[in-house]
């Protein structure tokens, strides 16, 4: 029987990130500025949502009804816990793409999104998803798809291959994935230090190794250690989606030109240049502000264990507001009753200590304890002086 994961790493959960490019209102605005009018997005689907922060925020604070799927039960449980009792417009499942994409009970979607998925899955799964898009993306619907470009990442192939081979060595078979990754990185440093192949004659090997050496193992696992790691260029994507009647419109983050990680927006069919094929009438739903408030309270509690968390939900925009992790900690302290700069700073400091997390200010790590305390105090003071403005923006 075929493995459920098809070579995808399942041992470590992914990092927790919010991606504004997946916000349906923002998608619509981005397309409109590229000259393409689409109807408001009512039914949306996110495949491979990972820790699902974007999905949770958009389903609770936004107007669309969402369906989401991810292979890892831990990912799915986390989103369920985060959104429990807050919305009836979120349908999530821990299925494989093969299972989810062939279901008969799904509606047509106005928006299908895959962030950080396409380059990391098997060719068979890409075909399954392509067939799903063909079957389920409405005329005038939007596909969001991000991927690693061949041009930017080709030079990383030798390092990636080296790391995967090292991590798969039999003597590491009983080690945890994070330890296998560490061992592979140490081995790569070793060949660089001794000027051995494949580092020798390949400056990209060392350059990229330096860049990733201290990145979180959860990120490295999902970026480099899957069986599949496929790079694409625009022509590949056109060959796949052109025959389905999709046309490329814009980069979802508004970036011009190509970067190493493309975030494509494709629109299907005639949708278009004047919106004439669409019914633009639609009344956005009235947002449940109490539910958004409760989601944010849960996120503030989660932030005390998650240095990657830096976003709360906005009931006004229906999307996320990026505030920064320490602001979230300060807000959490405020919500728990701390009202002056000293006690807010002390609570933030105690979370940093408990997690062993360094204080990084404008890219510089502050090591001196007194300096750390003074900086957190200053941050808390300006937070109070701003009259908890970040909280008001999301409350």
Ligand X SMILES: C[S@@+](CC[C@H](N)C(=O)[O-])C[C@H]1O[C@@H](n2cnc3c(N)ncnc32)[C@H](O)[C@@H]1O
Q: How far is the CB of 125 from ligand X (least distance, A)?
A: 5
In sequence order, which ranges of the chain are alpha helices (DSSP H)? Answer: 24-33, 53-61, 73-83, 97-101, 123-136, 150-153, 157-167, 177-193, 203-212, 217-224, 234-241, 289-303, 325-335, 341-355, 369-385, 389-394
Residue 224 binding ligand X, by CB under 6 A: no
Q: Which of 30, 96, 311, 314 binds ligand X (CB under 6 A)?
A: 96
What's the min distance (Å) between Cβ of 1 and ligand X?
A: 14
Position 7 contacts ligand X (CB under 6 A): no
Question: Going by C-beta distance under 8 Å and a sequence separation of 6 or more, which residues neighbour residue 345?
Answer: 373, 376, 377, 379, 380
387: left (phi over 0), alpha (psi -120 to 50) or beta: left
Q: Does residue 97 interact with ligand X by CB under 6 A?
A: yes
Measured over the CA atoms of residue 26, residue 31, residue 32 and residue 36, the dihedral's sign is negative
Residue 122 CB, nearest approach to ligand X (Å): 8
Q: Does 17 bind ligand X (CB under 6 A)?
A: yes
Helix axes 53-61 and 73-83, enclosed angle (nearest 10): 30
Asked if 222 interacts with ligand X (CB under 6 A), we say: yes
Answer yes or no whether residue 320 interacts with ligand X by CB under 6 A.
no
Q: Which of residues 101-120 bind ligand X (CB under 6 A)?
A: 115-117, 120
Q: Are 323 and 311 in contact (CB under 8 A)?
A: yes
Q: How far is the CB of 277 from ligand X (least distance, A)?
A: 30
Residue 20 found at the interface with ligand X (CB under 6 A): no
Site residues for ligand X, 43-82, by CB under 6 A, read: 48-50, 69-72, 75
Work out how close the CB of 87 gets to ligand X at its nearest, in angstroms, rounded to a whole number. 19
Question: Any residues with CB less than 8 A from the CB of 195 and at least 6 apart, and which?
Answer: none
> Which residue's CB comes closest to ligand X?
50
- Which residues of this chain interact with ligand X, rule CB under 6 A? 6, 8, 14, 17, 48-50, 69-72, 75, 96-97, 115-117, 120-121, 125, 222
């Amino acid at each position: 029987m075929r493995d459920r994961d098809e070579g995808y790493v399942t041992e470590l959960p992914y990092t927790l990130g919010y991606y504004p490019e997946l916000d349906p209102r923002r998608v619509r605005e981005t397309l409109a500025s590229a000259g393409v009018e689409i109807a408001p997005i009512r039914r949306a689907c996110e495949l491979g949502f990972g820790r699902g922060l974007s999905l949770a925020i958009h389903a609770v604070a936004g107007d669309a009804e969402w369906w989401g799927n991810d292979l890892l039960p831990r990912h799915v449980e986390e989103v369920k816990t985060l959104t429990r009792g807050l919305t009836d417009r979120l349908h999530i499942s821990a299925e494989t793409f093969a299972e989810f994409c062939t279901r008969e009970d799904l509606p047509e979607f106005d928006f299908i999104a895959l962030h950080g998925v396409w380059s990391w899955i098997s060719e068979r799964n890409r075909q399954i998803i392509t067939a799903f898009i063909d079957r389920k993306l409405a005329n005038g619907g939007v596909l969001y798809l991000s991927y690693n470009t061949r041009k930017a990442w080709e030079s990383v192939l030798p390092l990636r291959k080296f790391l995967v081979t090292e991590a798969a060595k039999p003597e590491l078979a009983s080690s945890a994935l994070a330890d296998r990754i560490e061992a592979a990185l140490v081995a790569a440093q070793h060949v660089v230090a001794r000027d051995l192949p494949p580092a020798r004659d390949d400056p990209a090997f060392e350059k990229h190794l330096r860049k990733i050496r201290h990145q979180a193992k959860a990120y490295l696992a999902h970026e480099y250690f899957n069986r599949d790691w496929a790079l694409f260029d625009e022509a590949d994507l056109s060959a796949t989606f052109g025959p389905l009647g999709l046309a490329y419109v814009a980069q979802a983050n508004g970036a011009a030109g190509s970067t190493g990680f493309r975030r494509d927006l494709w629109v299907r069919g005639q949708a278009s240049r004047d919106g004439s094929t669409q019914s633009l009438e639609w009344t956005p739903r009235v947002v449940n502000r109490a539910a958004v408030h409760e989601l944010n309270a849960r996120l503030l509690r989660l932030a005390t264990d998650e240095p990657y968390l830096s976003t709360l939900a906005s009931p006004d925009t229906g999307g996320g507001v990026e505030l920064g992790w320490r602001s979230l900690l300060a807000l959490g302290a405020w919500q728990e009753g701390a009202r002056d700069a000293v006690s807010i700073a002390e609570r933030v400091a105690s979370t940093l200590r408990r997690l062993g997390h360094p204080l990084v200010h404008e890219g510089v790590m502050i090591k001196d304890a007194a300096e750390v305390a003074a900086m957190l105090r200053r941050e808390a003071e300006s937070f109070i002086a701003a009259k908890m403005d970040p909280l008001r923006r999301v409350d």
